[in-house]
A and B are shown apart, each in its own frame.
Chain A
Amino acid sequence: MSGAETVRKYDPEFTKKVYQMDNGKWVKMCMQCGICPTTCTLRGIMDHSPRQIIQLIRAGDKEQVLQSNTIWMCTSCYTCSCRCPRGVPMMDIMHDLRHLAEEEGYITNQSHMAQVYYNDVAKRGRIWEGGLTLKYSLKLGVGNALKLAREMQDVGMEMFKHKRLPIFPPKGVKNPAKLRAVLQKAAALAKEEG
């Protein structure tokens, strides 16, 4: 053996953990027929197909699953679950895996976006789309933010010109503190169940 890097680590605890998540039972249901990758919009740019992700979960290959771009490239279009002979809601499995990846510190542009989106929900109860773009750019760091601004300024300007990106946030819910209390209670209840 030439070194540790050639040794693939498998973690049966990871498999168990995914099985226990909200949609874990569906991971067991997959029969590896391969219809999902053939219907997937973005299969071409995914490093693993949805079917492979399922098999990697079963194998306990935590690294490959959680660092894969597949879980973030899923557009939640629901096409594969429409055609799945067993009705596996693949996007819900992907959402579970995203949550796990976030908890384990795997960061992507999409997880940044999810975070600023959720922060807006928790703070105001509603999304302010204009501010969302801004806060997302800030998360990317100055260099990347400038690059994004340069590349997307034409789209941004058109949206702004056509009054589709309000400069000020629209009003949120009346009592965001209560909304947060609901979310906290829900999170606690979810944890209780394990």
Chain B
Amino acid sequence: MKYNYYPGCASEGTALANYHAFLAVAEKLGIELHEIEDWNCCGATVTSSVVGEFPAQVLAARNLALAQRQLDGHDIVTTCSSCYAILGLTNKKFADEEFKKKANEALKEDELEYNGNLNVRFLLDVLVNDVGVEKIKAAVEKPLNGLKVAGYVGCQSVKALRGHYDDPEYPQSLDKIISALGAEPVEFENSNKCCTGALALSAPDITISAVHPIIDGAAKAGADIIVTPCPLCQMNLDAYQQKANKQFQTSHNLPVLFITQLMALGFGLGRKEAGLDYCIVAPYQKLSNWA
């Protein structure tokens, strides 16, 4: 299994934990990752408001063109929901010959060209459908028995490219991985509510009000921890949890891990490889059996 790997900007800052844990987990599972050399920001859902939709799509397409030049014929995998949505939607646009021609005219300024033949895949898709649950189970060295986990998928990775690998309303992939690790996935209220993503920076009050019902739902369902694949969800649920506690007079203390971090623990990798020190809500007590 060989992939072009697009880490995205969060993996160099707020989601460093995900970056390191994914590399460690990929090695255990025999996933060969070729980080796209010289990748650029996908533009997220922000860039189009400044420059318009087409230039924003070309910005994203530069990464697809680089991947094709560096490792043609292999899917692109990304660990960020927003990058997945943007790269995936842009990739789809290349089926339109007129768009393709125009986008390539712009990409030529950087001596690049893209024919639209690669697939863009999300981390969970690759884990469940390429690696497979059986292989994940086989890699488990320290089963997470007894750990109750609230899997919060977030929105963009299942809803932007609907039905690519999971149901947009009732996604199952994340819970399948949680079960494969020996932990118990719990159903919880508000699991399909949005955390408000990037609004956290420009409208933190709105984010605080949005993360509260999600954390509260997970706590009431008896979860020990929350896991998510998404960098923005992880940051919002983790970094804003104490603020939500203060505002809504709760005392939740739910560690929020990336699914890759939980996998690292299940695979018997240590606290360092699992990047637990990046977590703001301290996870050590609840994970003391495995870390």
Contacts and interface: CB of A to CB of B under 8 A. Distances in A.
Interface in A114-143: 114-115, 117-118, 120-121, 125-130, 132-133, 136
A118 B13 contact: no
Contacts of A173: 38-40
Contacts of B44: 117
A-side interface mostly = helix
B58 A183 contact: yes
B13 A22 contact: no
Interface stretch (B130-138, B180-188, B190-198): B190-198
Contacts of B15: 164
B201 A183 contact: no
Contacts of A163: 16, 277-278
Interface residues of B, number: 66
Interface stretch (A2-10, A27-35, A69-77): A69-77
B62 A179 contact: yes
B-side interface mostly = helix
Given A158-B280, A162-B280, A186-B54, A126 B199 contact: no
B110 A42 contact: no
B85 interface: yes
Q: How large is the interface on A (under 10, 10 to 19, 20 to 34, 35 or more residues)?
A: 35 or more
B201 A133 contact: yes
A151 interface: yes
Contacts of B201: 113, 132-133, 136
Contact of B41 (A45, A126, A136, A159): A126
- The listed residue with most B CB atoms (<10 A of its CB), out of A113, A114, A130, A170, is A114
A22 B56 CA distance: 12
A95 interface: yes
A182 B58 contact: yes
Contacts of B108: 185
Interface stretch (B68-76, B221-229, B237-245, B266-274): B237-245
B106 A182 contact: yes
Interface in A76-121: 76-79, 81-82, 91-92, 95-96, 98-99, 102, 109-115, 117-118, 120-121
A185 B106 contact: yes
Contacts of A178: 109-110
A159 to B, nearest CB: 6
Nearest to A80: B159
B196 A75 contact: yes
6 contacts: A42-B206, A82-B169, A152-B204, A158-B242, A166-B12, A190-B54
Given A78-B156, A96-B53, 8 more contacts: A22-B52, A23-B53, A95-B48, A121-B59, A129-B13, A159-B239, A184-B109, A186-B106
Interface of A: 21-23, 41-42, 45, 73, 75-79, 81-82, 91-92, 95-96, 98-99, 102, 109-115, 117-118, 120-121, 125-130, 132-133, 136, 151-152, 154-155, 158-159, 162-166, 170, 173-175, 178-179, 181-187, 189-190
